[in-house]
C-alpha cells in the first residue's frame, strides 16, 4: 500500500513538473502535430512539368514567401496571445519580408558567439529575456484544391514556433535547419485564410544549436503550401548498388503511399519511369494499386531492377538520371507526378579506404556556413551557385555542411554540378561539450534522434551526400550511439562520421568503434601520421583544418604532401568557406563587414567568425588561390629537368588526362622563349607517366634564369567553368642563377661628389643627391632630378602588424611585443666615412637597437655605398643580444612619397605569398598599383607580401622611381598606412592614410601558420633571432627609359 502511494505521489509530482514546463523549455516536447519527415518532393500535374524540377510550375504549389505582418516582443511575457484569432487587427503591425532574420530588419541585434551561449547554460531553461516574433499572413487557395489535402511546409525556422490557422492551433516545432510540415486540411477554408506563426528566439533546442555562427532568428527559409491527392506518395527512397566490377547496378526503390483522406482510398496505379541524362527511357513499370487504404494507412512498395552499365555519378562526372513516379486514379487520370534526379553511385569503406564507385577518393574539402552578408541565413539560389562555381574552379570537390543540414536547394545543385557532401545533423552543444552533458542525458535522446532522422529522411536521395555526420562538438554519449544505430538502419548505404569520438589531445578513441572514419580537427601533419599508424582499419580525414582566419592557411602544402604519400589519408576540410561578416555602415556611410561585438552583443567571440576562403561578398582571397594549386588534380615531379623529363601524376579519380589541353612554355623574366602543346597524354585516373617536354636549352644565356611552365586547361565550356579555365599548373627553374646583385663595374660609372658638414654626409652627381644624417645615421634625403624618392629610412625592421594567427601563436606576437619589436628605436653609436673613391663613397653607421624600456635588442650596422650613377647599396647587419626570441621579419623599412604608387616586380605573384603559402605564386614579371597590392582583410593586419623577388621597381607610373635588388631572393610590400595604424585598427574604417607609402624590403619573412585554431607557424617557417647580414641596392630610374 505504501509503495502504491509512493508511486502515485511520484507520478503526480512528475506530471505537475511536466505541466509547468513551457514547450520551448522542455526537451521532451520537440514537436506537436508535425508531419513525419520525408524526402524533398513536389507533386506536379504532368510528367513534362515534373521533369523541369521547378515547383513554381506546379499547380499544387503556392509560395508564402513575401511580405507578412510582424510584431516583435522583447520577451515571452509581452508577446501577443490572441493575435491568431481571425478578427485580430494587425493594421498597426510592421511589414517584414519572409524569409528573413528579424535582427537584420531592425528587431533586436545579431549575436556572434562561438562556444558560450548568449544565456546562462542551464538546460533546458532559457534564463534571459526571450524575444518573440509574431507573424501574420493571409492567403487564398485555388478553387481546384477543394478536393486536395493541403500541407504547409517551412524549410527552416529558428529556433521554435507555434502555428495557427484561422484561429485553430495547428502545431509546434523546433529544430531550425530541417523542415517542419503541418496538415492544414481540417481548418483550411475557401476564401481568405489567416495564418499565424509565433517564433521564439531561444528554446531548449538552442542548446543543440550552439554552433560557431551568428545567432539569428526568424523564418529564414522558404514557406509554401503543397496540395496533394488523398492518396499521396508521401515518401520515396532510391538506392543504387554496383556489382563487384562497378559496372552494372541494381536500382532499388522504396515508395511510401499514404491515404490522407477520411474515406477509404480507391484503387489506381503507379507508373515508374527512369530516363537517362539524354532523356532516353531506361525502364518503365506500371504497378497496380489494388489495395484500398484506411485513413492515414500507409503501404510500402519495393521495386528492384538490374541496370546494365549505367553512367555513374561522381563529383567529376555528375551524370544524373530522372525518375518519374506517376500516380493515377481508377479512371486512369493523373493524381500527381513526383520526380527526382538519380545518381548511380556506390559509397563504401573497403580495405580501410573510403571508396566512391570502387575508387579511393581524396576529399579536397571545405566547411561551409550558410551566410549572405546582407540577409544573414537567407541564401539565394544564385549565391549558392556562385559558391559552387568558385569551389569547382578552385579544385574543391567536397563540402561539410557545418554544422547543420543546408537549404534543400543546395543539395540539388551539388547533385547537378558535382560536389561530395558530408551532411551534418543540426546538433552541437559546444559549451556543454566537455562533460558530454546532453549526449549522456536520456531526456535529450528524443531530440538527438529526431534531428538525425529528419536529416537522413530529407536528404537520402541525393547522390552528392556520401557521408552522414552526426553533428559537431557535443561530446560523446549514449544518445550518439542510439543515433548511429538508427541511421544505419535507415540507410545502410553510407558511412557515418562523428569527430568527437576521439579524445582530443590524446588521439585515442573514447568508445569502441561506432564510426567509420577517423576524424579530428586542426591536427598537425605529425598527428595525422599518428592516426594513420594507430588506426589501420579506417580512413583518416580531417573534418576541420587550416583555420582560414585573416591572412592564414600557412602550411597547406605540408598537409597534402603527407596525404598524397599515405593512401588511407583521404583529405581534409578547410575551416571554412566564407567570412561570416555582416554588412554594416559607419555613421559617415562607409561600408564594412561587422563581426562579434559590433552590435553591442555580449558575450561575443569577436572576429572569430571571419575564417573564410572568400570574403562575405564572395571576393576570393589569396588563400583560395593556394587551395587551387594544392588541391589540383594533376601532380608533377621532375625526373631529369635538363632533358625535359617530367613525371605526370593523374590525381583525378574518373578522368583521363587526355581530356585536357596541355601546354608548355619556357620563359625568362616575363618573356616567352619557347612554347608547345603536350599531346597524347593518355594517362588514366590514378596513374602516372613520364613524358619528355621538347624544349631546347642550346641558346640559353647563362646570365639569365629560365623557367618551364606546364598548364592543363579545359578544352570546352562546362557547367562550372569556361573553355580555357586553368585546372592545374607547375613551374620549374630549368637553368640559370637567381637574378641578384652583382658587383658594380666602377670603370663605367660617373664620379661621385662628396661633402661633409656637421649635420650630414652628402653624396651627389649629375642627377642625384643623397644625404645621410650624422645624428641618426639614417638617410635624410634621396633625390633624383630634384625629386624626392625617399621620405624617411631605410631602417632595420623586425616587426609586422600582427596577423590574427600571430596574435594567437605563442611564438609570435606575444614574444615580439614582450621584446618591444613594435617600438624598436635606432640609437646611433657612431658614423664614419670608411672609404672615399672617385666613383663610390662608403659610410658606416653603427646602432644600438633598443626597445622603449631601453633594453638592448640588437647590435646593428648599416654600411652605405653611394655610387656615381646615383645608386646606393646598403649592407645591413644585426646581432641579437638574447632578449629577442623570435621576429616577424628581417628587413629594411622606409617611407616614400605617395606618388610612388606603381610597382613592377620579378618574383612570385600575382597575389601575395609567404614562406608557408607560396606554392600558388608563379615566378614572372608583374605590375600593380600600391592599392592593388593591398589585401583588404576585414581585420587589418600584415598583408600584401610578395616573395621570391629578384627585383622590384617602385615609381610614379610615368616619370621617376627606383629599382631595388638584394643579394638574395627577397620580399617586398608597399601600402599607404603606417604599421602601428594597421596593428591598432580593428576595422577597415580605422585605417588612416599616412600621406606616404610604407615600403618594406625584407630579407626574411615569418610564415603565417594557422594558430587561431590549430598549429602555429611550423619550425621551417619560424624566424628565430639570429645574426643576419644582407645587402640591398637602390637605383633611381626614369620610367620612360625603362629603368635599366
Please identify which residue in the block is written with the cell numbers 586547361: 713
Helix/strand/coil percentages in the chain, nearest 5: 20, 40, 40
How far apart are the two ends of the chain, measured CA to CA in Å? 107
Q: Are 789 and 783 a contacting pair, CB within 8 Å?
A: yes
Please identify which residue in the block is written with the cell numbers 535522446: 445
Cell of 430: 559546444
d(CA 188, CA 150): 8
d(CA 853, CA 856): 9
| Cα distances (angstroms) measured from residue 78 to each of 68, 160, 952 | 20, 17, 66
Q: What are phi and psi of 986, to 5 degrees?
A: -100, -25
d(CA 568, CA 587): 54
DSSP string, 115-168: SS-SS--BTTB--S---EEEEEEEEE--GGGTTSEEEEEES-EESEEEEEETTE
- Which residues are designated catalytic? 473, 544
d(CA 205, CA 177): 11
Q: Are 279 and 286 a contacting pair, CB within 8 Å?
A: no
**CA proximity to 170, closest of 27, 21, 25, 34:** 34
The SS3 call for residue 188 is: coil
Please identify which residue in the block is written with the cell numbers 645608386: 871
DSSP string, 555-592: THHHHHHHHHH-TTEEEEEES-SB--PEEEE-TT--EE
d(CA 603, CA 503): 28
User: In whole angstroms, what separates CA 801 from the centre of its chain?
Assistant: 24
Cell of 267: 484503387
Q: Are 934 and 943 a contacting pair, CB within 8 Å?
A: yes
d(CA 670, CA 706): 10
d(CA 278, CA 260): 36
User: In whole angstroms, what separates CA 58 from the centre of its chain?
Assistant: 35
Cell of 889: 621579419
d(CA 496, CA 264): 41
Q: Would strands 753-756 and 591-594 be described as parallel, antiparallel, or unpaired?
A: unpaired
**CA proximity to 1008, closest of 812, 796, 799, 797:** 812
DSSP state of 391: H
Burial class (CB in 10 A: 0-12, 13-18, 19+), 483: buried
Please identify which residue in the block is written with the cell numbers 663605367: 748
Three-class HEC string of 209-220 = EECCEEECCEEC
Cell of 380: 539565394
d(CA 45, CA 866): 86
Q: Are 852 and 763 a contacting pair, CB within 8 Å?
A: no
Cell of 704: 639569365
Angle between helical axes of 381-393 and 408-417 (0-180°, round to 10): 40
Whether cis (ω within 30° of 0) applies to the bond prior to 576 is yes
* Exposed e or buried b per residue across 130-163, where buried means at least 16 C-beta atoms within 10 angstroms of its C-beta: bbbbbbbbebebeeebeebbbbbbbbbbbbbbbb
Amino acid at each position: 500500500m505504501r509503495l502504491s502511494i509512493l508511486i502515485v505521489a511520484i507520478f503526480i509530482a512528475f506530471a505537475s513538473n511536466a505541466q509547468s514546463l513551457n514547450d520551448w523549455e522542455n526537451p521532451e516536447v520537440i514537436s506537436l502535430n508535425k508531419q513525419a519527415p520525408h524526402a524533398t518532393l513536389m507533386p506536379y500535374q504532368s510528367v513534362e512539368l515534373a521533369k523541369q524540377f521547378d515547383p513554381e510550375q506546379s499547380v499544387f504549389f503556392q509560395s508564402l514567401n513575401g511580405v507578412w505582418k510582424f510584431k516583435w516582443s522583447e520577451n515571452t511575457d509581452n508577446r501577443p496571445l490572441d493575435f491568431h484569432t481571425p478578427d485580430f487587427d494587425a493594421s498597426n503591425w510592421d511589414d517584414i519580408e519572409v524569409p528573413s532574420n528579424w535582427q537584420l530588419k531592425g528587431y533586436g541585434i545579431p549575436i556572434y558567439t562561438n562556444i558560450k551561449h548568449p544565456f546562462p547554460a542551464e538546460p533546458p531553461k532559457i534564463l534571459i529575456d526571450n524575444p518573440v516574433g509574431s507573424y501574420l499572413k493571409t492567403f487564398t487557395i485555388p478553387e481546384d484544391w477543394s478536393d486536395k489535402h493541403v500541407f504547409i511546409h517551412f524549410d527552416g525556422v529558428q529556433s521554435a514556433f507555434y502555428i495557427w490557422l484561422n484561429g485553430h492551433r495547428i502545431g509546434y516545432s523546433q529544430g531550425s535547419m530541417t523542415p517542419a510540415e503541418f496538415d492544414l486540411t481540417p481548418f483550411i477554408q475557401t476564401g481568405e485564410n489567416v495564418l499565424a506563426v509565433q517564433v521564439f528566439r531561444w528554446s531548449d533546442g538552442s542548446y543543440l544549436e550552439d554552433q560557431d555562427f551568428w545567432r539569428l532568428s526568424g523564418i529564414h527559409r522558404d514557406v509554401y503550401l503543397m496540395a496533394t491527392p488523398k492518396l499521396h506518395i508521401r515518401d520515396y527512397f532510391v538506392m543504387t548498388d554496383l556489382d563487384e566490377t562497378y559496372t552494372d547496378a541494381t536500382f532499388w526503390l522504396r515508395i511510401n503511399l499514404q491515404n490522407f483522406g477520411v474515406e477509404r482510398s480507391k484503387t489506381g496505379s503507379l507508373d515508374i519511369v527512369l530516363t537517362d541524362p539524354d532523356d532516353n527511357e531506361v525502364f518503365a513499370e506500371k504497378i497496380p494499386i489494388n489495395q484500398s487504404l484506411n485513413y492515414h494507412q500507409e503501404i510500402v512498395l519495393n521495386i528492384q531492377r538490374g541496370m546494365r552499365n549505367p553512367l555513374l555519378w561522381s563529383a567529376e562526372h555528375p551524370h544524373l538520371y530522372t525518375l518519374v513516379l506517376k500516380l493515377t486514379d481508377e479512371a486512369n487520370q493523373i493524381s500527381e507526378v513526383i520526380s527526382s534526379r538519380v545518381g548511380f553511385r556506390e559509397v563504401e569503406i573497403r580495405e580501410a579506404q573510403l571508396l566512391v564507385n570502387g575508387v579511393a577518393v581524396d576529399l579536397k574539402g571545405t566547411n561551409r556556413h550558410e551566410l549572405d552578408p546582407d540577409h544573414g541565413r537567407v541564401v539565394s539560389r544564385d549565391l549558392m551557385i556562385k559558391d559552387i562555381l568558385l569551389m569547382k574552379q578552385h579544385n574543391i570537390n567536397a563540402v561539410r555542411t557545418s554544422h547543420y543540414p543546408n537549404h534543400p536547394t543546395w543539395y540539388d545543385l551539388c547533385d547537378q554540378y558535382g560536389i561530395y557532401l558530408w551532411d551534418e545533423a543540426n546538433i552541437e552543444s559546444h559549451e556543454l561539450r566537455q562533460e558530454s552533458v546532453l549526449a549522456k542525458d536520456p531526456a535529450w535522446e528524443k531530440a538527438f534522434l529526431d534531428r538525425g532522422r529528419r536529416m537522413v529522411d530529407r536528404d537520402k536521395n541525393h547522390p552528392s551526400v556520401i557521408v552522414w555526420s552526426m553533428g559537431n562538438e557535443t561530446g560523446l554519449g549514449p544518445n550518439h550511439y542510439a543515433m548511429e544505430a538508427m541511421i544505419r538502419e535507415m540507410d545502410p548505404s553510407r558511412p557515418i562520421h562523428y569527430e568527437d569520438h576521439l579524445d582530443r589531445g590524446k588521439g585515442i578513441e573514447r568508445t569502441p568503434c561506432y564510426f567509420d572514419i577517423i576524424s579530428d580537427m586542426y591536427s598537425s601533419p605529425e598527428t595525422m601520421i599518428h592516426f594513420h599508424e594507430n588506426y589501420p582499419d579506417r580512413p583518416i580525414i580531417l573534418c576541420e583544418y587550416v583555420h582560414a582566419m585573416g591572412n592564414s592557411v600557412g602550411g597547406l602544402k605540408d598537409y597534402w604532401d603527407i596525404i598524397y604519400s599515405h593512401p588511407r589519408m583521404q583529405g581534409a576540410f578547410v575551416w571554412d568557406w566564407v567570412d561570416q561578416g555582416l554588412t554594416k555602415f559607419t555613421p559617415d556611410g562607409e561600408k564594412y563587414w561587422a563581426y562579434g561585438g559590433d552590435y553591442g552583443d555580449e558575450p561575443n567571440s569577436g572576429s572569430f567568425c571571419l575564417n573564410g576562403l572568400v570574403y562575405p561578398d564572395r571576393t576570393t582571397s589569396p588563400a583560395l588561390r593556394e587551395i587551387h594549386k594544392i588541391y589540383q588534380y594533376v601532380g608533377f615531379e621532375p625526373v631529369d629537368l635538363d632533358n625535359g623529363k617530367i613525371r605526370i601524376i593523374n590525381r583525378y579519380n574518373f578522368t583521363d588526362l587526355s581530356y585536357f589541353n596541355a601546354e608548355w612554355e619556357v620563359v625568362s623574366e616575363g618573356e616567352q622563349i619557347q612554347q608547345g602543346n603536350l599531346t597524347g597524354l593518355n594517362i588514366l585516373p590514378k596513374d602516372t607517366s613520364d613524358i619528355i617536354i621538347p624544349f631546347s636549352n642550346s641558346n640559353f644565356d647563362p646570365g639569365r634564369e629560365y623557367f618551364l611552365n606546364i598548364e592543363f586547361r579545359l578544352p570546352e565550356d562546362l557547367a562550372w567553368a569556361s573553355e580555357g579555365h586553368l585546372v592545374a599548373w607547375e613551374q620549374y627553374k630549368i637553368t640559370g642563377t637567381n637574378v641578384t646583385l652583382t658587383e658594380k663595374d666602377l670603370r663605367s660609372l660617373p664620379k661621385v661628389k662628396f661633402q661633409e658638414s656637421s649635420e650630414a654626409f652628402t653624396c651627389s652627381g649629375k642627377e642625384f643627391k643623397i644625404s645621410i644624417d650624422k645624428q641618426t645615421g639614417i638617410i635624410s634625403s634621396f633625390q633624383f632630378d630634384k625629386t624626392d624618392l625617399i621620405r624617411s629610412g631605410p631602417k632595420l625592421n623586425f616587426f609586422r602588424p600582427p596577423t590574427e594567427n600571430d596574435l594567437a601563436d605563442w611564438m609570435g606576437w606575444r614574444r615580439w611585443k614582450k621584446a618591444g619589436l613594435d617600438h624598436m628605436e635606432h640609437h646611433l653609436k657612431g658614423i664614419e666615412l670608411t672609404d672615399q673613391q672617385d666613383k663610390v663613397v662608403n659610410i658606416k653607421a653603427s646602432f644600438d637597437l633598443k626597445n622603449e624600456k631601453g633594453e638592448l635588442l640588437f647590435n646593428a650596422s648599416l654600411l652605405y655605398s653611394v655610387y656615381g650613377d646615383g645608386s646606393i647599396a646598403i649592407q645591413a647587419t644585426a646581432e641579437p643580444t638574447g632578449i629577442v626570441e623570435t621576429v616577424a621579419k628581417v628587413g629594411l623599412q622606409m617611407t616614400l612619397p605617395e606618388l610612388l604608387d606603381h610597382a613592377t616586380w620579378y618574383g612570385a605573384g600575382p597575389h601575395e605569398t609567404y614562406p608557408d603559402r607560396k606554392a600558388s605564386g608563379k615566378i614572372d614579371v608583374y605590375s600593380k598599383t600600391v592599392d592593388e597590392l593591398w589585401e583588404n582583410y576585414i581585420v587589418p593586419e600584415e598583408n600584401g607580401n610578395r616573395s621570391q623577388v629578384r627585383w622590384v621597381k617602385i615609381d610614379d607610373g610615368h616619370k621617376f622611381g627606383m629599382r631595388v635588388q638584394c643579394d638574395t631572393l627577397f620580399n617586398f610590400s608597399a601600402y599607404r598606412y603606417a604599421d602601428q595604424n594597421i596593428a591598432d585598427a580593428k576595422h577597415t574604417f580605422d585605417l588612416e592614410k599616412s600621406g606616404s607609402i610604407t615600403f618594406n624590403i625584407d630579407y626574411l619573412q615569418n610564415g603565417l601558420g594557422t594558430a587561431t585554431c590549430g598549429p602555429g607557424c611550423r619550425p621551417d617557417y619560424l624566424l628565430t633571432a639570429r645574426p643576419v647580414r644582407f645587402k640591398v641596392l637602390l637605383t633611381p630610374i626614369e620610367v620612360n627609359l625603362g629603368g635599366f
